[in-house]
Structure 1
């Protein structure tokens, strides 16, 4: 049985999203820093729901199969602007209590499978800050390959870009 359950995010997820995205620990590598208020969380959820309506895929609300009502994180694939070039990006953020249990790796594998087998997308990218060793390791474990750098944060080292191609991911 799968350990994780994925579903489209809903407006009622705003409080849980805010709890996860406002935690300074979940933002250690996020140049924008923690989310400031519930209104910001509601806005992000609205954009995610609109993405689902437009593309028929997007970020998932993620729960453990033994506690399906309790969201432990958000993530999946979505269209993302890489400095004016739109690409399908793999991203995730988990609550601190979910760290260290392999959930990010499982989500990454499941998201790539979904992207390639269900949606028939040709490629998926991952963007990660160069000092975020745990996320770099996740991208490597799921078969994503280094693809280059993106100078996306003024005054900081460029983000690292990873890429997976349909038929070539782990």
Structure 2
């Protein structure tokens, strides 16, 4: 399954993407706001790929590889959705992490918007949640531009400190 936008192709990861997973998640700049996501070895990247692939096998969607339409071989990053437990319910977690070399180009917003739109068509009953670090202004902009709203009442500690929550299809009582 692919998602195609004006500048991007988003596709399911395959085993040959393990090196790209490692390269991005081994980059301290890319994981600056979420240092617990830093990978030390390619074996760690294989473990990440296996988790992502398992989600795809079980649900038919997950995290996509983000690549330029003109150069599909060059991975710009990863963006997608996965089921997570949040406050005793399942929700869709929106994830996006792009290579620092493409930051500021609007590709993160383009990818996240495409993924949120995809979910609106195929999973409209599911709330979407994005966890964003308070200091990550660029990520906050991506979440907002993709259609999510700041939900301060849901903020909570995460692995790397306070998580600010952005949501879509979430009412004030924590219901979709």
Unmatched tracts of structure 2, length 5 or more:
171-176
| Superposed displacement of residue 21, structure 1 | 0.6
Unmatched tracts of structure 1, length 5 or more:
none
| Superposed displacement of residue 162, structure 1 | 0.8
**Aligned partner (choices 35, 39, 50) of residue 35 of structure 1:** 39
**Aligned partner (choices 5, 11, 15) of residue 19 of structure 2:** 15
Structure 2: distance between partners of 1:28 and 1:152: 15
SS of equivalent to 1:60: strand
What is residue 105 of structure 1 aligned with on the other side?
A: 109
Give the paired residue count.
164
1:83-98 to structure 2, matched below 5 A, reads 85-98=89-102
**Aligned partner (choices 157, 161, 174) of residue 151 of structure 1:** 157
Structure 1: distance between partners of 2:125 and 2:99: 29
- Alignment RMSD (CA, Å): 1.8
1:1-170 to structure 2, matched below 5 A, reads 2-82=6-86, 85-147=89-151, 148-153=154-159, 156=161, 158-165=162-169
Deviating beyond 2 angstroms after TM superposition, the runs of 4 or more aligned structure 1 residues are: 80-86, 118-122
Give TM-score, length-normalised by structure 2: 0.86
